[in-house]
Homo-oligomer: A and B are copies of this chain.
Amino acid sequence: MLTIGKLGKAAGVKVPTIRYYEQIGLLPEAERSAGNQRLYGHKAQERLAFIRHARDLGFTLEAIRDLLSLSDRPDQSCAAADAIAKAQLAEVESRLARLTALKAELERMVVQCAGGSIADCPVIEVLSDHSLCATDHRHPESEVPS
């Protein structure tokens, strides 16, 4: 049985984060020692690793909650899990597209800036006047949508 600190170290997750996951019901309530400290077994360790890995891949806690409850019913179809992963992939792809456009525009700004004064700094200029952007694209709605 591991204390919360060892578990955190093993999984690469900070201690308060583990307690937070328990609080929101992603992890079940842990067993307690005589002195009221949380103790974790192998199952909890696997579950936390799953969560951590999914977070690393950018899944939201809500999506992870769904994936976990799916993985608890191994007999069912994996269509739902596949759908969640596909949605995440689509999300990542759309963010990639947006970031790529941002990168191009930022590069244009930075390259043009030759260290003069603010009055003719292309950084300020481009930000002030959208029409100075490359004309062949629209801006993304926002960088990280709701």
Given the complex of chains A and B, what is the CA–CA distance between A74 and B116 in angstroms? Answer: 10
Given the complex of chains A and B, what is the CA–CA distance between A121 and B82 in angstroms? Answer: 8
Contact partners of A119 in chain B: CB under 8 A? 74-75
Q: How many copies does the complex hold?
A: 2
Seen from chain A, the residues whose Cβ lies within 8 Å of a Cβ on chain B are 46, 49-50, 53-58, 67, 70-71, 73-79, 81-82, 84-86, 88-89, 92-93, 95-96, 99-100, 102-103, 105-107, 109-110, 113, 115-121, 123-124, 126-128, 130, 139-140, 142-144
Closest to A81 in B: B123
Given the complex of chains A and B, what is the CA–CA distance between A46 and B127 in angstroms? Answer: 10
Known: A57-B106, A78-B120, A96-B99. 11 other contacts (CB 8 A): A53-B126, A53-B139, A55-B143, A56-B102, A56-B142, A58-B102, A70-B124, A71-B124, A76-B117, A82-B115, A82-B123
